Amino acid sequence: MLHDYTIGKQVFKKMRIKEHIGASAAISIGIYAATGSGIMAAWSFLAGSLLDLDHLIDYWEDYSFNIDISRFISVCYNCQLIKTRLYLHSFELLLVAAAAAYITRSSIIAGAALGLAQHIALDQMVNKVYPASYFLIYRWRKGFYADFVFRNVPKRVETNGNYKKAGAG
């Protein structure tokens, strides 16, 4: 089940870690059934489930290094990041991983590539993002600002040369 979250009066659906774990488990079971490779299935599950760890980089860049997990979850789920680098959420990385899996014939790399692919595909379909949002080059060209990635993030306003979310204190 997808979780609802609100910004203002709008209600949105969003992929969260529980949904990614469930989807990764189902897909990994399918991979095991199709290939008989426990290694490929395991790496697919790990990559699909843990890809969101790259949100920590964004959180620490905006809020400095800390280990307040509840704040981290709240900031991410409530779209309070100014910039979203999301280095692992990248079609470019997926292309490299797929090419590496093809060239090396490695079950580990193939599993990780499949996990990456299903994670990004689900995020692209469910999260309110622009069509190019999961291209790292697009995000880089837009300065990694979250309002160019997520359609539901309030637009930035400039104050004394610094950016903040519109309506933020």
Number of domains in the chain: 1
Q: What is the pTM of this model?
A: 0.81
Q: Print the domain residue range for 145.
A: 3-165
Q: What is the pLDDT along the chain (169 residues), one digit of tens a residue?
A: 444 444 344 444 577 788 899 999 999 999 999 999 999 999 999 999 999 899 988 899 888 888 888 888 888 777 788 889 999 999 999 999 999 999 999 999 999 999 999 999 999 999 889 999 999 999 999 999 999 998 877 776 655 555 555 545 4
Q: For the range 116-120, what are the long-range contacts, defined as Cβ-Cβ under 8 Å and sequence gap of 24 or more?
A: 116/47, 116/48, 116/51, 116/88, 118/23, 118/24, 118/27, 118/44, 118/48, 119/20, 119/23, 119/24, 119/47, 119/48, 119/51, 119/52, 119/89, 120/51, 120/89, 120/90, 120/91, 120/94
